[in-house]
Amino acid sequence: MSGHQLAMALRRAYLAIHRQTNDALVPTGVTADQFVVLCELAQGASKTQRELVDRTASDSNTLRAMLVLLERRGLVQRRPHPTDGRAWSVALTAQGRRTFQKLWRRSDKLRMKLVEHLDQDSLRHFIALLSDLVQRLGDGAGKSRRPVGAAAMGIQSSN
């Protein structure tokens, strides 16, 4: 057992989820990565791009590109931030909320399958293992253009 095997197992698992999410959403024309963004936006209030970068673990340039696509399709709206003149305030449009419901339903079975045969404690433990791993890696961070940012830590509403 080695770090390499852990990395490979993680790769396998992530790619499997990513592909099956894409497969499930392909009739809607929304990608799995875009879905991740919409999920964060669907949790209550509007967010700045910076917050979305932290919460979706995306690159800021990548996130912008995705928002441009989502905006062009009318799922997302960006308005000037009320107090911070540098920032955008990003939110779902009405159509975006409707589309998100559809996406969420379409991916429902997949999420069920993810946690099948896992009781609450195992699931909690599993997530803790993953979070610990991220934290361990994050400490010796490279030259990431993301100087941490408070929202990166896992405060998630319950969905």
Task: Determine phi and psi for 77, rounding to 5 degrees.
Answer: -130, 140
82 binds DNA (CB under 7 A): no
153 binds DNA (CB under 7 A): no
Instruction: Say how many residues touch DNA, by CB under 7 A.
Output: 35
Q: Give the C-alpha separation, 138 to 126, whole Å.
A: 18
Between 59 and 84, name the residue whose CB sits nearer to a copy of itself: 59
150 binds a copy of itself (CB under 8 A): no
- Counting beta carbons within 10 angstroms of the beta carbon of residue 37, is it exposed (0 to 12), middle (13 to 18) or buried (19 or more)? buried
Between 12 and 124, name the residue whose CB sits nearer to DNA: 12
**Minimum CB–partner distance for residue 98 and DNA (Å):** 20
152 binds DNA (CB under 7 A): no
Between 18 and 106, name the residue whose CB sits nearer to DNA: 18
Quick note: the x/- pattern for a copy of itself over 38-57, rule CB under 8 A, is -x-----------------x
Interacting positions 14-53 with DNA (CB under 7 A): 15, 18-19, 22-23, 31-34, 48-50, 53
Residue with tokens 């920032």: 87
The binding site for a copy of itself (CB under 8 A) comprises: 1-21, 23-24, 36, 39, 57, 109-117, 120, 122-124, 126-127, 129-134, 136-138, 140, 142-144, 154, 156, 158-159
